[in-house]
Structure 1
């Protein structure tokens, strides 16, 4: 069977399948289930707490990244063993959630289940990003980043719309068990595609490490941390870190406010909300991801980030200004559909830019550290949503969301990927 380094189609299908597997539990937890609970009286503060509990483990990438770079089983590939382990544990946590009875009334327990599942989802994400850094050719990164992000968007849409509908029609237990089955189905890809020809498919089968002779199975984590500090010592990489730490705060606030606004203030039904977000919203978001990947390579990464995040900022501000039209379904639906397009457009370009400026021998770890900073930014926004809601009305809150999304764009001027000879394949 062909390996990932030999076949572009194998690289695309495996990376996209893994991103899809991250997407549908996320869409279910942060859109469908939260909307379902909001209809039952969940507050903005409670919504922000649940979403923050789901996002918080994604900041653990700062821990996972040095870990997967330090401990390896190279006979099966550098990343595959970690990916398979993470996939198994993602399925186990979903099965445990399904077997826990009715947990929708126990927000504390539900929050911790969100947290536990996303610990392993974030580990899988780190491993997948590291795998992408290892195996993607420089000239295909923008394009395949678009495919990967698009696959995650499809997964989020599937989790939002299909899983949201199943939740309303059946039960939480049935819905979560179905998701566990999907995760196990996706695991077929890392199980049957080797990273490099000649490696073991499974531990008990024939094969050997095909990594360079100087590759060490156990690497001192302090060496990885030293490489990271070296990587962030350059102006472009340091400013990039600051940018990611603040760029998604507005998006985090936005995600926490929307379910409560639509369920309680505008009187929407949970399945209608989930179907708009996971249906038309996902289609346009998917187009944004593909377009962002293509244009990042053709037009320039920073320009597309500015267009994407600037477009999201303007959309949020206009939505806040014209709050008198929220009662009209077409107007409110337009925001749910259009704003994800701009976020996806910018997000894929961010992937491409920060993959480019991640360098040193721990390039994969550096890239996943960047992504952890982005998740930390979203978590901060989710936690701030309840506080903001206590002081300002919803229309002002969306204007604040737009301003917070626009301000960091100034920092893009200092993130020039051409200023330093970043190593493409460290």
Structure 2
């Protein structure tokens, strides 16, 4: 039976810590903003380049380069844990800064001259878009871990990842339409307006009561923020090491890296495969992927979080991995049916839904493993490993396609979730939580993980 969440206001208010509706509303908006750069840089741009005859190796190199900044999250997060304008909250000032950088970097990407024949320029400008996308992502994730109660995490992740996939699909379909009708510069620059509108949310809503809305307004740092704010780099990294070396955390690190490789392979594969192998146009690809992504996003928002809450994180992760292994393997052996639009759409739709559900379960598990003392840094480590895997997967796709046919490429991808099914069985969230809770009870230097019997 689910526990009823008590002591939480259910009407929209100004403070994230004491208002569930405010939390869901704000983080959904911020995750929509995270989806915008992904939709245009990882999907719309590669599809446009594939449509204009660029090779799989060239497109894979571009995507791989743009994914690299997401690996920097582990460097950005300690900075946010160590420094902040505490009177505005622990992470909210960084969220606002990341949003501002995202707006400016989009405008810069739109200024790249002759983008079709200037892949190096696209790489540099796309790198900057994704750098600030990663920056905003770290700040948002850190704020989410700190202000979302544990009993709301799966539900909140469902809403957040659903919103992100909707942001990706809207960015993809609108961006593609604008590129085809008004040119690359107008398409990319217009997305800066969307990000600017979403910036209203972190400006308007505060983390905790009594904090400043903006640096020049009245308010002060909350007691909770002061208690959890770390004052030395040594303490940050010792605390991070202390929690990351726990068994479940190490297993998740390995699993999340491998899962990132799979995501990077499939995301880079889809536009190239559908346009250059199946003969689709970039508009047709964008429409299909946008529709399937929205379906996946809404499915995640409506039932993704509840399934994880009801059946458990590891059980649902196992089920999702079994299903995604099956659909990729089956599709690989259906080469004679690849000419059927219905078969291909069914595959993309199945993958999109399972992708969203997997993200919800994985990141809810990652939040569960986090120790609030170093929540932003720890969660960023998990996300950095995921994005390192994505960058590796994107680069690997070019190598695989150059040396093998599409059937072998799909079969190679299906091996990854199969391995993950075995790996995640070694994660024990309950034991990990007991150990982490002991860190907050026992003085830092004397804290020793308790002995837990099976």
TM-score range relative to shorter protein: over 0.9
Corresponding residue to 2:280 among 265, 268, 271: 268
Task: Give a deviation string over 1:77-130, Cα, whole Å, max 9, x none.
Answer: 111110111100100011112233332321111011111111111111111111
State how far apart, in whole Å, the 1-side matches of 2:222 and 2:395 are. Answer: 45
Corresponding residue to 2:247 among 235, 244, 256: 235
State how far apart, in whole Å, the 2-side matches of 1:304 and 1:136 are. Answer: 21
SS at match of 1:212: helix
Corresponding residue to 2:308 among 296, 300, 305: 296
Given the alignment of the two structures, is residue 30 of structure 1 paired with residue 22 of structure 2, yes or no?
A: no
Unaligned runs of 5+ in 1: none
Task: Give a deviation string over 1:375-401, Cα, whole Å, max 9, x none.
Answer: 111111111111111221001110111
Task: Give a deviation string over 1:150-170, Cα, whole Å, max 9, x none.
Answer: 000000010111221222121
Corresponding residue to 1:381 among 375, 393, 401: 393
Deviates more, 1:106-115 or 1:148-157: 106-115
Corresponding residue to 2:80 among 42, 48, 68: 68
Contact 2:80/2:376, CA 8 A, preserved across alignment:
no
Partner of 1:171 in structure 2? 183
Deviation at 1:423, TM superposition (A): 4.3
Given the alignment of the two structures, is residue 367 of structure 1 paired with residue 379 of structure 2, yes or no?
A: yes
Task: Give a deviation string over 1:317-376, Cα, whole Å, max 9, x none.
Answer: 111110111111111122221111111111101111111111262123211211111111
Kindly tell me: are residues 197 and 49 of structure 1, through their superposed partners in 2, closer, same or farther at Cα, counting changes over 3 Å?
same
Structure 1 segments, 4+ long, off by >6 Å, are none
Partner of 1:222 in structure 2? 234
Q: Superposition RMSD on alpha carbons, in Å?
A: 1.7
State how far apart, in whole Å, the 2-side matches of 1:222 and 1:274 are. Answer: 47
State how far apart, in whole Å, the 2-side matches of 1:154 and 1:216 are. Answer: 34
Contact 1:307/1:346, CA 8 A, preserved across alignment:
no
1:112-261 to structure 2, matched below 5 A, reads: 112-212=124-224, 214-215=226-227, 219-261=231-273
State how far apart, in whole Å, the 1-side matches of 2:233 and 2:102 are. Answer: 25
Deviates more, 1:222-231 or 1:357-366: 357-366
TM score, norm. by length of structure 1? 0.96
Unaligned runs of 5+ in 2: 1-12, 441-454
SS at match of 1:268: coil
Contact 1:305/1:347, CA 8 A, preserved across alignment:
no
Contact 2:256/2:385, CA 8 A, preserved across alignment:
yes
SS at match of 2:410: helix
SS at match of 1:279: helix
Deviation at 1:214, TM superposition (A): 4.8
Partner of 2:370 in structure 1? 358
State how far apart, in whole Å, the 1-side matches of 2:225 and 2:416 are. Answer: 48
Kindly tell me: are residues 395 and 347 of structure 1, through their superposed partners in 2, closer, same or farther at Cα, counting changes over 3 Å?
same
State how far apart, in whole Å, the 1-side matches of 2:81 and 2:213 are. Answer: 20
Partner of 2:111 in structure 1? 99
SS at match of 1:57: helix
Contact 2:275/2:282, CA 8 A, preserved across alignment:
yes
Given the alignment of the two structures, is residue 391 of structure 1 paired with residue 385 of structure 2, yes or no?
A: no
Deviation at 1:189, TM superposition (A): 0.3
Contact 1:72/1:217, CA 8 A, preserved across alignment:
no
Kindly tell me: are residues 58 and 290 of structure 1, through their superposed partners in 2, closer, same or farther at Cα, counting changes over 3 Å?
farther
Kindly tell me: are residues 194 and 285 of structure 1, through their superposed partners in 2, closer, same or farther at Cα, counting changes over 3 Å?
closer
Contact 2:50/2:275, CA 8 A, preserved across alignment:
yes
Partner of 1:336 in structure 2? 348
Deviation at 1:213, TM superposition (A): 7.6
TM score, norm. by length of structure 2? 0.90
Kindly tell me: are residues 285 and 402 of structure 1, through their superposed partners in 2, closer, same or farther at Cα, counting changes over 3 Å?
farther
Task: Give a deviation string over 1:217-271, Cα, whole Å, max 9, x none.
Answer: 6722232111111011211111111111212212211222221111112110100
State how far apart, in whole Å, the 1-side matches of 2:16 and 2:93 are. Answer: 14
State how far apart, in whole Å, the 1-side matches of 2:54 and 2:112 are. Answer: 21
State how far apart, in whole Å, the 2-side matches of 1:148 and 1:94 are. Answer: 22
Kindly tell me: are residues 200 and 105 of structure 1, through their superposed partners in 2, closer, same or farther at Cα, counting changes over 3 Å?
same
